[in-house]
Amino acid sequence: MIDPKESAYLKAKKIETGTVIDHVPKGMALKVLRVLGIEDDFPGTVTVLMNVPSSHYGFKDIIKIEGRLLAKKEIAKMALMAPAATVNTIQNFTVVDKYVVQVPSVLEGVVMCPNPTCITRSEGTPRLLVENASPVRLRCAYCEKVYGDKDITY
């Protein structure tokens, strides 16, 4: 049985094919969309529910994206800002796959190293080692510089 506190999000339209991202930390939904590259030119319907009461988290955000499935690499990109999110793949109005986001130990080609004099700015693929997920602590595998959440541009 669904927690009455969480029932609000059911009021939003169900999607036929696409992705529902649940348990996004409160206030992070729009950032997650930006990281996923979903902007005003996206052809499908995007529903964003913010400040949804959650028995686990107090409040959470929920994102429903019509007509778009997420690749593992995209989920990894999102993991830093929504480390406990659940990604549901929907087909024919049914959840066919459920994936709990996990912060990977390495972010390969996901975000750029912020150091302008790092080799990966001119060649190769950026590789950031996740030394700590929360708070975020990343170390570039090449230039060895260490970064927090605020240093990273998505």
**Residue 129 Cβ vs another protein, minimum distance, rounded to whole Å:** 11
Enumerate residues 113-142 that contact another protein by CB under 8 A: 113, 115, 117-120, 122-124, 139-142
**Residue 128 Cβ vs another protein, minimum distance, rounded to whole Å:** 12
Residue 78 CA to residue 11 CA, distance in Å, equals: 25
φ, ψ (nearest 5 deg) of residue 59: -140, 155
**Residue 133 Cβ vs another protein, minimum distance, rounded to whole Å:** 17
DSSP bridge partners of 25 = 60
Q: Evaluate the CA torsion angle 6, 95, 36, 103 in order and state its sign.
A: positive
Among 17, 31, 145, 151, binds another protein (CB under 8 A): 145
Q: Which residues contact 94 (CB under 8 A, 6 or more apart)?
A: none
Measured from the CB atom, is 12 or 143 closer to another protein? Answer: 143
Residues in the site for another protein, rule: CB under 8 A?
113, 115, 117-120, 122-124, 139-146
